[in-house]
Amino acid sequence: MPPESSLNAEMSKKISFFGLKGLKLWVWVCLVVGVFIVMILCILSLWITFRRKSRRSSSKFPFNQIPHVSKDIRVDRAGFQNPHPESLYIEMNDKSTGKTMMSHLGRTKSSDNDTLSQCSSVNHHERACSSHSGEEGGFGSAGRQYGGGPVTASPLVGLPEISHLGWGHWFTLRDLELATNRFAPVNVLGEGGYGVVYRGKLVNGTEVAVKKLLNNLGQAEKEFRVEVEAIGHVRHKNLVRLLGYCIEGVHRMLVYEYVNSGNLEQWLHGAMRQHGNLTWEARMKIITGTAQALAYLHEAIEPKVVHRDIKASNILIDDEFNAKLSDFGLAKLLDSGESHITTRVMGTFGYVAPEYANTGLLNEKSDIYSFGVLLLEAITGRDPVDYGRPANEVNLVEWLKMMVGTRRAEEVVDPRLEPRPSKSALKRALLVSLRCVDPEAEKRPRMSQVARMLESDEHPFHKERRNKRSKTAGMEIVETKDESLGPSGSETKP
């Protein structure tokens, strides 16, 4: 018999298997091959699904798991060169004219009716934001009163890549090179301790400020994390908004909303003075906005955020003289009631609270001290420390105490201020600032109290019960029992 016909005969034999009787051998072979193929396909599809899932979850790392990429961050100075100087962003450098600026100077637009947008903290990593008009639990009036401004259209609309941190926007280096014209020197807004800040425009037309962090022994990485943790998830009309970030190779960048009218330091002592003097109303609007931002950071979110570097150059100003607190690179996140002892005191000379400078004890009271110095700076137009002045005037706080103590309070007002503030407005501002710079940290008021005192049109203490009077160094101190002023509630009468 030829081999083919013997094979055919074999294949046609009927075989019983697994209780199935009478199936020919070739049918069995087909069945086995079919089952085998189906199994392979199932395994393959399971593997593909698993890979997709694990890729998705690994890209959603929380903040504390931002990948540790090399700490050796070198700044690509070559990227700073602009190969096409003729193609600079003309519209970006088109600063508001002096005339436009001046027209805003006296404005005191009230923000009282703003819809409040409150970001309540869920935990360290998730701060949920919601828009509301009144009620919310947890932090009482501070949260409501000092909540954020109206929710506006997202500046990120029309951009391709969403954040891998579950917040903000993950920009590529290319996006930011395009936005800043390859980090052109003409777009440099300024240089701080941790990096260079560039002005830029995203593809969707949103103006941004891009902070390119420098490599200073891992500090860039640290600053990057701290800023992202401190303000990545929070929203307040007086906090500069962090829109996103770029982590690419050795590059670390932070992308903020662009704030278009410089900072308080430039208005009081620097380049913005050419646009005119800030009026008293503009100064108080900026200061009150800063107080509201701090009240929010200290009292409305959990963990609270201690900024640690409150100073005039970190108060950005928009064209309506709204303050936008910025630069959270030194910020510290603390649980409520928690203080922190640090061995390295950070901050800026002249603004640092004495107990923090002397012992390293850090809590929100150190921000309140720095805020007091800032307020004195706005009232007097003087630097916190100015070696160009006579010895007894070098330190602003000491000089001011001396002036108030010798009943010369009205002489401390910035001589460039025209018109001068009313007596009661000056008195209120001086009183608030002196309470904030109280050498005893626990006597300083809370930021929500400070904001309320600055906001009130009437003298804040008229309605208070006065029960004790004493005279100190030419100033009449009236101690009060007003709970809202805290245990140290006291009025200073210049």
Q: Which residue has the tokens 């008009």?
A: 133
Is 479 annotated among the ligand-binding residues? Answer: no
Check whether 190 is labelled as a binding-site residue: yes
Which residues face 131 on adjacent strands? Answer: 117
Q: Is 491 in the site for ligand ATP (CB under 6 A)?
A: no
Report the nearest approach of ligand ATP to the CB of residue 391 (Å): 26
Q: Which of 75, 119, 159, 209: binder of ligand ATP (CB under 6 A)?
A: 209
Exposure of 454 by Cβ count < 10 A (0-12 exposed, 13-18 middle, 19+ buried)? buried
Of 189, 357, 417, 478, the one binding ligand ATP by CB under 6 A: 189
Number of residue whose CB is nearest ligand ATP: 192
**Backbone angles phi and psi of 268, in degrees to 5:** -85, -40
Tell me whether residue 166 is exposed, middle or buried, using C-beta atoms within 10 angstroms of its C-beta: 0 to 12, 13 to 18, 19 or more. middle
Pick 189 or 413: Cβ nearer ligand ATP: 189
Q: Does 232 bind ligand ATP (CB under 6 A)?
A: no
Check binding of 92 to ligand ATP (CB under 6 A).
no
Total chain residues near ligand ATP (CB under 6 A) = 21
Q: For the purposes of burial, counting CB atoms within 10 Å of the CB of 260, is it exposed (0-12), middle (13-18) or buried (19 or more)?
A: middle
CB of 257 to ligand ATP, least distance (A): 6
249 is annotated as contributing to ligand binding: no
- C-beta of 209 vs 475, nearer to ligand ATP: 209
The nearest distance, CB 240 to ligand ATP, in angstroms, is 5
Going by C-alpha positions, the residue among 392, 424, 415 that lies closest to residue 405 is 392
Query: Per rule CB under 6 A, is residue 62 in the interface with ligand ATP?
Result: no
CB atoms within 10 A of CB 281: 17
Residues 406-445 contacting ligand ATP, CB under 6 A: none
Residue 457 falls in the annotated catalytic set: no
Nearer to ligand ATP by Cβ, of 88 and 189: the residue is 189
- Assess contact for 360 and 341: CB atoms under 8 A: yes
The answer to whether 194 is a known ligand-binding residue is: yes
SS3 call for 337: coil
Going by C-alpha positions, the residue among 411, 416, 461 that lies closest to residue 435 is: 461
363 binds ligand ATP (CB under 6 A): no
Q: Which is nearer to ligand ATP, 267 or 369 (CB)?
A: 267
Q: Cβ neighbours of residue 429 under 8 Å, at least 6 residues apart?
A: 284, 287, 375, 378, 379, 421, 454
Residues 251-290 that bind ligand ATP (CB under 6 A): 256-259, 263
Confirm or deny that 434 is annotated as ligand binding: no
Question: Measured from the CB atom, is 142 or 316 closer to ligand ATP?
Answer: 316
> What mask of x and - would describe binding to ligand ATP in positions 143 to 182, judged by CB under 6 A?
----------------------------------------
Please tell me the total number of residues recorded for the chain in this structure: 494
Q: Any contact of residue 183 with ligand ATP (CB under 6 A)?
A: no
Could you give the CA distance from residue 116 to residue 138 in angstroms, rounded to a whole number? 16
Rounded (10°) angle between helices 25-59 and 3-11: 70
Residues numbered 322-361 forming contacts with ligand ATP, rule: CB under 6 A: 326-327
- For residue 121, the cross-strand partners are 127
Active-site entry in 175, 309, 318, 327: 309
Check whether 245 is labelled as a binding-site residue: no
- In the complex with ligand ATP, which residue's Cβ is closer, 242 or 426? 242
In order, the DSSP letters of 242-270 are EEEEEEETTEEEEEEE--TT-BHHHHHHS
Among 197, 228, 291, 454, binds ligand ATP (CB under 6 A): 197
| Residue 6, SS3 per DSSP | helix
Of the residues 264, 316, 409, 430, which one makes contact with ligand ATP according to CB under 6 A:
316
Q: CB–CB of 237/316 below 8 Å?
A: no
Instruction: State which residue, 316 or 323, has the beta carbon closest to ligand ATP.
Output: 316
188-192 and 251-257: which strand pairing?
A: unpaired
212 or 304: CB nearest ligand ATP: 212
Biggest alpha carbon distance in the chain?
A: 131
Six token digits for residue 459:
């003298």
Phi-psi region of 140 (alpha: psi -120 to 50; beta: other; left: phi over 0): left
143 annotated to a ligand binding site = no
Show the beta-strand stretches assigned E in 156-229.
Answer: 169-170, 188-192, 195-201, 207-213
**Residue 191 annotated in ligand binding:** yes
Q: Does 231 bind ligand ATP (CB under 6 A)?
A: no
Helices and strands (DSSP H and E) totals, the chain: 13, 19
Residue whose CB is less far from ligand ATP, 239 or 284: 239
Point out which span in 174-182, 312-320, 469-477, 482-490 binds ligand ATP (CB under 6 A): 312-320
**471 marked ligand binding residue:** no
Query: CB of 255: closest distance to ligand ATP in angstroms?
Result: 9
Distance between CA atoms of 328 and 198, rounded to whole angstroms?
17
Map residues 105-144 to x or -, x wherever contact with ligand ATP holds by CB under 6 A.
----------------------------------------
244 is in an annotated binding site: no
Give how far the C-alpha of residue 397 lies from the chain's centroid of Cα atoms, to the nearest Å. Answer: 27
Which residues carry out catalysis?
309
Binding residues for ATP: 189-197, 211
Residues lying near ligand ATP in the complex (CB under 6 A): 189-190, 192-195, 197, 209, 211, 240, 256-259, 263, 309, 313-314, 316, 326-327
